[in-house]
Amino acid sequence: MPTKSKIPEGYNKDITIATIGSHTALQILKGAKDEGFATLVICTEKNRQVYERFNSADDMEIVKDYKDILSEKFQKKLLEKNVVLIPHGSFVEYVGAKNIEKKLAVPMFGNKGTLDWESDRKKAKVWLTDAGVKAPREFKDPKDIKDLVIVKFPGAKGGRGYFTTFCEEDFSDNLKLCKNPQEYTIQEYVVGTRFYPHYFYSPLTDKVELLSMDIRYESNADGLARTAGQTDVEPTFTVTGNTPVVVRESLLPKILEMGDAVVKSSKKLFAPGLIGPFCIETICKDDLEFVAFEISARIVAGTNLYVQGSPYSQLIYDEPMSTGRRIAREIKIAQNKRMLDRIIY
């Protein structure tokens, strides 16, 4: 069971929604404002101007290092403001999934135990497999590399440092150039089109909503397509942005089924399971089968495209509903129904 923060009584009246100034903070804070919450952004001096110039939050706390939020003094300050923290990709990377689970007493939206399952590649694979979602083949021994593979390293570094290779010899040459060559994962390189659907699971309604979808824009893999093979530069996968996408409508049943299965499995693997936003990073092959190479069990950056809602969220909600706003809406509903303990840990 994950450590559960005690929710003080005051939270039933006033809540301040806060997050770290990075990743999806602009969208989260706008969504919180739209739902009538007070907002706070925690950022470094370097990022300050972004959050000031986009009028992101009512209040700002400057820290030297994001791990500073773990100090007793800082947490006390947040508790005095009835803060609910919203985790996102950079939040998990900078503060650390284990620190969030073990050292953070400030209430946080979602199940803290989930973060460890998504940031640990081995656990994520167990989860996807349990849900019956197809994952790329993995090779323990470099000798087994017979076709194109992608070699990955731990941590959510936006694909940085990954490389592709097609044989053991080339693998070894590439590995020598890596800073941290110990912990690698060799994965089948799946050829197809990428779809990163953004889901939201509400424990209050027990429904999974498909809110939007994106494709990550990656340097230089996406740039190489424009060179018509006139360069020897190897593809790399550093995420630099996101582009919008919708999927063929006849593929929606598969996408919805994957979301449902992942939620069901999460309840079994780490009760009470996943709460709120998540994304299954998939590739759709030419036989129209989806292969999922990753799962993110928190808001993903691709949702930043849809501050005003997406083609999918517009069908569910007759108002602009970003994932950030959907999180705030869930908190508001839970607050009104005195059910905050179902969604906040």
Q: Using CB under 6 A as the criterion, which residues of the chain lie in contact with ligand AMP when the complex forms? A: 136, 150, 152, 159, 162, 187-190, 194, 216, 218, 237, 281, 283, 293-294
Nearer to ligand AMP, 48 or 194 (CB): 194
Closer by beta carbon to ligand AMP, 5 or else 323: 323
User: How are beta strands 59-62 and 149-152 bridged, if at all?
Assistant: unpaired
Q: Which is nearer to ligand AMP, 54 or 166 (CB)?
A: 166
> How near is the Cβ of 111 to ligand AMP at its closest, in Å?
22
Distance CA 172, CA 177 (A): 9
The structure tokens listed for 139 are 């090779």
Pick 208 or 292: Cβ nearer ligand AMP: 292
Residue nearest ligand AMP (C-beta atom): 159
Q: Which residues contact 247 (CB under 8 A, 6 or more apart)?
A: 195, 197, 213, 255, 284
Q: Are 104 and 75 in contact (CB under 8 A)?
A: yes
Cβ of residue 294: shortest distance to ligand AMP, in angstroms? 4
Q: Is 78 exposed, middle or buried (0-12, 13-18, 19+ CB in 10 A)?
A: buried
- Min. distance of Cβ 124 from ligand AMP in angstroms? 9
Q: How far is the CB of 222 from ligand AMP (least distance, A)?
A: 9
Residue 343: CB minimum distance to ligand AMP, A: 27
Q: Specify the DSSP element, H or E, that contains 187.
A: strand 185-188
CA distance 228 to 188: 24
With respect to ligand AMP, which residue has the nearer C-beta, 264 or 285?
Answer: 285
